């Protein structure tokens, strides 16, 4: 039975003594997750291909008492790289408490804006390739699955002894997207399809991995500042998404992009609330209230 002092935010969302791994942690949503976790005491390993980007992120956003550790030159679509990553972390840690499977790519874009079927075919046929579709699916879906599978033993090792009441004390958070839930293609058929698959993969893993005591949930972001939405980042690996650029889309009730802190809140909630499993948390400023979903 909880006393009032148990509800202090620093107790509810403390990550003290926790170890996390964030793929694609050098910028965008991955960096937001990293900052939120580290600021609340976690040791966070950030993973990606670009070593310099990861080192910059860890240096520029060093927390007061948590820790950000870069591990670069890792291709999450390569099983050998994933195995090496797990082995490297295993040399340093007995377990991990959280995996944020965040790495992703935007894929090709071709707007379905022609009313003549021949013109529509021509634009979409020439605007996208099979290889681009395969690459998008490989990064946004397949890598999420194999990254999670690779870390299952380290995640299970974090489960507290029976009697603690925390059978599901380790978890995975995937980064899906509001785009994987809506029917509006946004010119991104490959990306939206892949993110829809990520949503379903999350539900499959949440049900199947209960047997090893690992929770799996997903955050489905709307428009947040990242290299994917803003097309660039600054010398601190941060991106800027002006409110007017979001407002002009006409389907964002908040009339702005999401704030870094708002993504951090969502990450901490799913990381710490062990009574949540198999959920897709849309953090989208109300977009899915405007655009039809499933």
Rounded CA gap, 141 and 220, in Å?
A: 14
Residue with tokens 């993110």, as numbered in its chain: 195
Residue 195 falls in the annotated catalytic set: yes
Question: For residues 149, 150, 154 and 155, what is the CA-based torsion angle, rounded to 10 degrees?
Answer: -30
Catalytic-role residue among 45, 137, 191, 223:
191
Residue 138 falls in the annotated catalytic set: no
Measured over the CA atoms of residue 31, residue 33, residue 38 and residue 42, the dihedral's sign is: negative
Catalytic-role residue among 18, 195, 238, 272:
195
Residue 176 falls in the annotated catalytic set: yes
Catalytic-role residue among 58, 176, 218, 226:
176
Q: Which residues are catalytic?
A: 176, 191, 195
């Amino acid at each position: 039975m909880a006393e009032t002092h148990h509800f202090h935010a620093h107790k509810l969302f403390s990550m003290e003594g926790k170890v996390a791994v964030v793929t694609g942690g050098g910028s965008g949503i991955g960096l937001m997750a990293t900052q939120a976790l580290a600021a609340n005491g976690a040791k966070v390993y950030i993973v990606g291909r670009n070593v310099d980007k990861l080192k910059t992120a860890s240096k520029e956003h060093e927390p007061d008492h948590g820790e950000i550790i870069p591990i670069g030159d890792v291709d999450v679509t390569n099983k050998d790289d994933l195995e090496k990553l797990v082995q490297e972390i295993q040399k340093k840690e007995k377990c991990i408490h959280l995996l944020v499977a965040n790495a992703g790519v935007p894929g090709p874009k071709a707007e379905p804006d022609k009313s003549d079927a021949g013109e529509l075919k021509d634009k979409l046929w020439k605007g996208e390739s099979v290889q681009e579709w395969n690459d998008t699916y490989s990064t946004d879906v397949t890598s999420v699955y194999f990254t999670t599978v690779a870390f299952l033993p380290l995640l299970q090792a974090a489960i507290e002894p029976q009697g603690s009441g925390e059978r599901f004390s380790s978890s995975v958070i995937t980064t899906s997207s509001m785009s994987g839930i809506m029917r509006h293609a946004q010119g991104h058929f490959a990306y939206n399809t892949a993110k829809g698959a990520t949503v379903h993969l999350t539900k499959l893993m949440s049900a199947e991995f209960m047997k090893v005591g690992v929770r799996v949930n997903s955050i489905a972001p709307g428009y947040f500042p990242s290299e994917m939405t803003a097309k660039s980042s600054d010398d601190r690996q941060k991106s800027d998404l002006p409110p007017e650029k979001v407002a002009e889309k006409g389907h964002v009730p908040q009339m702005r992009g999401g704030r870094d802190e708002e993504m951090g809140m969502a990450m901490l909630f799913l990381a710490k609330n062990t009574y949540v499993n198999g959920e897709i948390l849309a953090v989208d400023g109300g977009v899915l209230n405007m655009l039809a979903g499933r």
